[in-house]
Structure 1
Amino acid sequence: MTVPAQTATDLDSVQSVAHDIHRAVSTVIEGKEDAVRTAVTVLLAEGHLLVEDVPGVGKTMLAKALAKSIDCNVSRVQFTPDLLPSDITGVNVFNQTTHEFEFRKGAIFANIVVGDEINRASPKTQSALLECMAERQVTVDGTTYPLPGPFLVMATQNPIEMEGTYPLPEAQRDRFMARVSMGYPSGAAELAMLESHGEHDPLGDLRPVTDGATVQRQIQAVRQLHTAQALREYVVALITATRRHSSLRLGASPRASLQLLGAARANAALSGRDHVLPEDVQRLAPNVLSHRLILTGESQLTGRTTGDVISEILQRTPVPSGRR
């Protein structure tokens, strides 16, 4: 297979844009390089990102910093129990002057949508995002409206043990390409945060380093990256293993296969390669798969996690060699 010439031409541009975004976000988020890189990877893979952790560790700050580093339409939705689906998708309003209904766009009509504490909204409101995230369109009263590109939903959520939260439905979790956990910062990173954030707000100093049209071109370039047949078979083997594993009640969906391969392409582009390696798949597998898998009751009682299962599957699944 011949790699398209435009892939090699655009690869440097993809790296440059990704590096600029990563550097800009890192000025706000201290000591979380993996989380920032995963966010940039999901952006270039045209996916959606779920940021899950306890309050106060920078979930919303990561989402806002990524959004602010790109000159495009950005909206923020603060999810609360009284939020209505129409607040997200939009609603038809009767115009007294024209005596006709007019569509008023909701918050979802933006390039980057920052959804804060998504699991504090009711399941009915959460479900308003399903069509938007999967098909990049909104249907209101029988009329379908396309969403702009690029389109990225970055949602934060607190652990389900927190008071006032609703667990996300499996169908909605499956629409998020990846999940990251911020974790507590190291002592050095927290000290640096106290010094930098104490005097001023670094988010206020953040300026866009690229624009939406440029990001959309990088997304198209990432899609062109060479993916060998053996590599695609490796992805399918990993996904199939989750469906047959004795510790799992629910394995990964076919959508997970597509999104794992897409994330691996973006990771390869960020690494300066015009082809995908098994290492790209292995690096992204925990982020892409962990939130989609459901353990059996017995596995939960023994203290196993979905991360443990993914590590086991990665170790047991034969890794392809060479580029074909």
Structure 2
Amino acid sequence: MTENTILKVQGLKKYFPLKRTVGEVLTRTPPKYVRAVDEINFEVKKGETLGLVGESGSGKTTTGRLITRLEDPTEGKILFKEKDISTLTKKELKHIRKEIQIIFQDPLAALNPHMRIGEAVMHPLEIHNIGKDHSERQKLVMEMLERVQLSPASEYYYRYPRDLSGGQRQRVVIARALILKPTFVVADEAVAMLDVSVRSQLLQLMINLKNDFDLTYLFITHDLATTKYICDRIAVMYLGKIIEVGNFEQIYTKPKHPYTQALISAVPEPDPKSKKRRIIPQGEVPSAVNIPTGCRFHPRCPYAKEICKIKEPILKNVENQEVACHLYDSEYEKSAV
């Protein structure tokens, strides 16, 4: 790990076993697995926001849950500040929880409906025994509610989640995530369920909080248009694999992978006179149980050649960005002749 790297993922896998039928058990049919995350590697630098994008089912959320250890990895390492946290016990993880937090997509599901807002935000302080008494913890909660623009805090402290709007509930979830003063935050579709106007306000709030608290974000989203406002670098996932990584400008102006090009073409243009060509991949995303051989995108790729069906591409440096595609291999050029 380099000095400014806060998180490094190496060979990370998460396979979910499918339940076998009685007949499959009796015939000793080998179990099948959903390969949600299938040997990915990436790193996040301190102070940056890395966007993790892709279609539904690409493995983005599972990656976030693995990093926060809400899921146990099948294989691989998760190095946080040079310490491997992939094998820590629940007791050992308690110390890491203060530094790594998550903002969930659905605030109504993330908050206990029977717990007042103040109690929900205070709960992490009680778990980690922060604050000498209730009044000190209450003061910390009030300050955090003000920081997420729930003002006056006293007006929201005794309310229940059902009494708030979607945007206000999401601010509560953000407050609860930041009350422990973490250094790394996974934002899992944090603004996906909000109206466009509220979404922009929440994105600006997250940027302000990042600067104020010196945070590092892993920003998970299916909406590439959102990443342009908050992300420094972008990693594109497809069917459990990272297929392209680059900075914001590279991904938006010079996407290398055909799948990334299709995602970028779907981003709406504010200029009504713009004649951007829309690229629509053919077919549906294959099953994560029966993954295609070779390149996982080849059944939907307009440039697929024979080598794409046989050999799986690996991430390699192409013009200062990483891409896993045979288009940039000499083997592809030979097969095209």
When the two structures are superposed, what TM-score results if normalisation uses the length of structure 1? 0.38
Computing the radius of gyration from Cα coordinates, the structure with the larger value is 2
Q: Which has the higher helix share?
A: 1
The TM-score with structure 2 as length reference comes to 0.37
